[in-house]
Structure formats: structure tokens, C-alpha cells
Amino acid sequence: MDVARTVEAVWKLESARIIAGLTRLVHDVGLAEELAQDALVAALSQWPAGGVPDNPGAWLTSVAKHRAIDHLRRVRRVGDLGDEPVAEQAGERDDVLRLMFLSCHPVLPAPARVALTLRLLGGLTSAEIGRAFLVTEQEIRGRIAAAKRVLAEQRVAFDLPAGADLAERLSAVLEVVYLIFNEGYTATGGEGLLRPELSTEALRLGRLLAALAPGESEVHGLVALMEIQASRAAARTGPTGEPIPLDEQDRGGWDHLLIQRGFAALLRARDLGGPPGPYVLQAAIAACHAQARTAQDTDWARITGLYDALVRVLPTPVVRLNRAVAIGRSDGPAAGLAAVDALTDDVVLRDYHLLPGVRGDLLARAGRGEEARREFQRAAALTRNRAERDYLLRRADTVPAPTAPTLAGAAREFLGRADLGPATVRSYGQTMRRLRRSLGDELPLSALTADRVEQVFTTAWSGAAARTWNRHRAAIRSFGAWAALPGLDAALTRRDDDAPPIPAIPPPLVDRIWRAPEVRLRERVLWLLLHESGAPVGAVLALDVEHLDLNDRRARRDGAWVSWRARTAQLLPDLVADRIRGPLFLTDRRPGPSRTVAPADLCPRTGRSRLSYERAEYLFKQHTRTLDPSGTGYTLRQLRENVKVKSSRR
């Protein structure tokens, strides 16, 4: 018998119960997991020689509990607990439910909730979670460590919410489980469309939650939704992994056992009574598709009605987009396009590939082929999943390419001019990339109007600082003059920079920011360099390896010097490694085939591109969210405001 595999299987089944019971005992989920891991190590050491016990779960529980009692005695938290009875089965179920609410607590950001839930309740290792989400094991370890630290610092209680708090907390748990399922159902990045291990784990967690909270209709609604959605998995891709749309799937390949389980869960939700919540309504929509023997038999009028009800309880842009799809099927493509076009200004959908994808499908059905092609091209450029991108490009290829000059071609020619310096190319390039992402590479240049430019600015930069708004406005004016399209900026009013000074991050927090163990080397160097140099964020992100003078602790960029102190100097060599030229701060991945990147922004050794201001800002905000009293996170500019600016012209 393979003892290691037995231990792994037992751990996956029992770890949530063991960690939950220990958390109730020691009041610290991080310590509880460590104690449970100690018991796991003991099993791996003792079972090969002594054999697997008759009740391996009870063995692990007993060892972990005794280690917890020993720990409590050492720190003098409690007295003699040697005779404390083992929890009854009902108590154990409550402990697991408490652990679910703890790992999905709203005080944690969504990525941390997902990682911690898969770790504590799924029994997955950091490496397994990282592989599933295409991130490094180190990054997952950092998310989990940060989550445990936040729960401890915020003194989040290990209890079951009650009253009005229950609905909000349960909603957070359901959201995490559904996030995990959706990442498995349609992967946001990578090569393949599906990650079945995540969908399977989400289904297991949903069924567990339904057993622990049988009186909650939304729990059964979520289980019903996932069961029915999962039933289509085998029919959703072709022989080479290409996506197959719902109306083209072989319904004989759907898993009818999962469909029946979904119907049963939906009936349980309805039997509990009360107005249907968002998961019950989404499950009812999925059931409509499952009941149709063919795509032509689908009751789109009923589905539209259900989406009308869903919009009332969950008025998100994505729900409205799905409703537009249903309208396009029930009332025709023109009606669907009208519903989609009402969403094009929504900031949430700005870079959501399904918005142009849906619009392209409706345009194709309406006989507007050239417009459909542009939308499919734009959707392909926005998705990070290769299977989806290939599918969208194939749809675009069914329409002949336009012969007139396009936005992408004009943008490349505009940025490739010899009279533009590197800094100007980078600045103008940000503006043109946003224009292309929002309007599509294949937009005929003649169709670029002031109204369309205003729409892009309103969606992308309506809340931006005056300096940022004016910089992008200047780029559009320059492009319009070059392309003989005067007045592109006619609807864009210059903004006055009358904003109040940005408050600095309190000094006691500064060291805490980069000393956290989960902070990656790239971010640690960037934050230290900004703090020690006082240089503008854009200037630091624009640094290249060949511009660094490590001995003199300074770098020259566009006529200005950026200098730093000892802590940055200690870390920079590790970040540079064996690179001799190219951007100092790099993104995590190579740019996709549809993305055009200036040669100056590519690392010749790794093929990765320069870290963007937006990504750097996002990571800093996420890291400092729990430190900021407002809960939104600090900005990189606030970090550098703590010191006197040292950049100077020499």
C-alpha cells in the first residue's frame, strides 16, 4: 500500500475538520494549521512503519489536539486540559462552518479569501493553488500569510454570524466558492478553457456548505447552479480544446446525473420559500438551458424574464450584459445591440472581453460583418485565455479584412516617428493603447471621432488627476494633428490642478509596508527606491538596467538623476541578476501575441515587458489596504511624499 497517497487522501478529507476544531481551541487559525501540519508530518513518519490506523482521521485529530494542549500549557493560556472531551459530531460540523466564515471574511481581499479557503477547507498545497491560478507558489504563500496576519490583527472571531450579519457573511462565503468554480469553468488566463480541478473543488465545498447550512436557500441555489453548469463541461470544448458555444454543443454529451442533482438542489431552495436570491435565479436560468432538448427549443423569453428579476436583486454590469444576450435571442439582434450599447460607458466592463465579444456576435447576426470583425478582434486582444483568443480570432477571420487605414496601423506609425523621444513615446503609447483597447485595432481611422474619444476618456480617466487627464488629452491632440483629424479633443476640456495635497503615509507604517514577508523582491525594491529617492513614480518605472550606477547609487534617465540609499543598494543586485540591459522593473508574464510593445520596453533576455504604472499602483494599494484607515489602500505617490525629492538636473 502507498502510505504517502493514503496520508494525502486522508488529509484532504479530514484537514478542514481538524483545523476547525483546533482553531476553536487555540483561537488562531494560523497556529491551528501549523499544529495540524505537525500531525500530518507525524503520520508520514509513523504510519509507514506502524501501519495506517483503523481510523486515520481520529488519529490525526488526537495527535493534533494533544500538540495544541501542550502548546497552551507552555504559554500558560489555560490549565490542565488533558481530560477535555472530544467534540461531538454536531460541534465538529459547526466548527467547519465557522472555518468557512473565517476564511471568507470580508476583511480579506478576494484573492486572499480564495487562497485561504482552498488551503484550509480544500486541503490544497500552496503549489497546487498556484498551478491552478497560474501564479507562483511564493505568491500564494504570501497571500495566505497576509490573510492569517490580517485575521489576527483584526481579531476576527471564530464564531457563527447571526441576525442581519448572517446574510452578508454568507454572501461572502458563496462569492468565494463561486469565484473558485468560475475560474475552473472558464479560466481567466493560460492555454486551456477549463481547469476542472477547481470546478470539482468548488462543487465539493458547495455540497459541504449545503450539508452544514441546510436551511439557507441561496446555498442550495449556488449548488444547483454549479451542478448544472458543470454538467456541460465535456461538451464545452472540441478535440483541440477550442471553445464550443452553448447553442452548438452536443447536448447528448451533457452529464444528466449532474443535471438531476442540480434540479434537486433547486427544488430544495424553492421549498425553503421566500423571494429568490441571485443564485437561485441564476440556477433557474441554467435549468432553462438544461431543459431544452435542442438550442432551438430554448425558452429565451422566460430566460429574459428571469434576468429582469436578477437585475433587480443583483444590478451588476455583467448581469446586465448577460441580460442583453438574452434580449438579443428573444427579441432579435437589434434589441440586443441597444441593450449592449447602453453598457459601453461602464467602467467595470472597460476591459472585459465578453462585452465586445457579445457585441460582435450580435453584429454578425444583424449582417454587419465588418463591425463584427472589429469587435471580435478587440475581444481577442482583451482576453488572457489562449483558447478563447484563438476562437475569437477565428470568428474575426470569417469576415474580410478592411482595406482602409485602421486605428492600430495609424497608432504604430504615429509612435514610430523619428522625432519622438523615448519618454514621449512611452507617454503617448499609454494613451494610444487605451484607445485601441477600447475601440478596437481594426476601427477605420475615418470612423475615429471626437465623440468616440470622449467616450474612451470618460470611461478610462474620468476620476484621474488633472495632470493625468491633461497628459492624455495632449497626446490625442498631437495624434489628431498628425493624422489630419482635427478636433479629436474637441469634447475634452483641460482640467485645472486644484486638488489638495496628498497626505503622506504615517512614518510608523512605512517600514511595515516592505518588511512584510510576503512582499516580492520586485515590489520591495520599487517601494524602497521610491521612498529613498523621492523621484516621480513614472521616472522610477522608466529606469533601465544599463542606466544604473550601482557603485554611486544613482541612475540617469532623460537628463535627470535618481539616487538611492543603502537599503535599496543592498537589494538592487538581486533584482538585476544577470541582466545587462532592458527595463529594471518587469511584468510577471510575456506580452500576448496580440499586444504591441515598444522594443525599449522589452527585456531582451526574458522577453517580458516593463511593469506598468497601473499594475504597480494596484499591487501597492492591495498590499496597504488593511493599513489605510479608509480601507482603499495608499498610492505610490504617497510613499514618495515621505522624503524630500532628490531628483535633479545636472
Give residue-wise pLDDT tens across range 242-261.
Answer: 889 998 999 999 999 999 99
Q: Which of 45-54, 390-399, 531-540, 641-650 shows the lowest per-residue confidence on average (mean pLDDT)? A: 641-650
Listed in sequence order, the DSSP H helices in 236-299 are 256-271, 278-291
Q: What is the mean pLDDT of residues 185-189?
A: 76
Q: Is 27 exposed, middle or buried (0-12, 13-18, 19+ CB in 10 A)?
A: middle
Q: What is the mean pLDDT of residues 366-381?
A: 89
Q: What is the mean pLDDT of residues 151-175?
A: 83
Report angle CA 129, 237, 121 to the nearest 5 degrees. Answer: 25
Q: Which of 272-281, 303-312, 356-365, 615-624 shows the lowest per-residue confidence on average (mean pLDDT)? A: 615-624
- Assess contact for 321 and 379: CB atoms under 8 A: no
Q: What is the mean pLDDT of the chain?
A: 84
Q: Which residues contact 430 (CB under 8 A, 6 or more apart)?
A: 472, 475, 613
pLDDT band at 340 (very low <50, low <70, confident <90, very high): very high
pLDDT (0 to 100) of residue 402: 60
Which grid coordinates are listed for 376? 471580435
Say if residue 98's pLDDT is above 70: yes
pLDDT band at 474 (very low <50, low <70, confident <90, very high): very high
AA identity, residue 592: G
pLDDT band at 498 (very low <50, low <70, confident <90, very high): low
What span, in angstroms and rounded, lies between the C-alpha atoms of 526 and 537? 9
Nearest to 122 by CA among 12, 19, 20: 12
Whose cell is 476547525? That residue is: 20
Say if residue 578's pLDDT is above 90: no
Residue of higher predicted confidence among 639 and 473 = 473
Say if residue 102's pLDDT is above 70: yes
- CB burial of 473-507 (b: ≥16 within 10 Å; e: otherwise) equals bbbbbbbbeebebeebbeebeeeeeeeeeeeebee
Predicted TM-score (pTM) above 0.75: no
Q: How does DSSP classify residue 559?
A: T
pLDDT (0 to 100) of residue 539: 84
- Assess contact for 616 and 537: CB atoms under 8 A: yes
Residue of higher predicted confidence among 643 and 113 = 113
Listed in sequence order, the DSSP H helices in 416-543 are 422-439, 450-461, 466-482, 507-515, 521-533, 537-541
Residue 321: CA atoms inside 13 Å, Cβ hemisphere, count? 19
What span, in angstroms and rounded, lies between the C-alpha atoms of 318 and 302? 19
Q: What is the pLDDT of residues 44-69, one digit of tens each?
A: 888 888 788 888 888 888 888 888 88
Beta bridge partners of 602: 609
- Furthest-apart CA atoms within the chain: distance in Å: 86
pLDDT (0 to 100) of residue 152: 85
- Assess contact for 130 and 136: CB atoms under 8 A: yes
Say if residue 80's pLDDT is above 60: no
Listed in sequence order, the DSSP H helices in 124-163 are 126-133, 137-153
Nearest to 37 by CA among 67, 5, 1, 70: 67
pLDDT (0 to 100) of residue 645: 37
Say if residue 393's pLDDT is above 70: yes
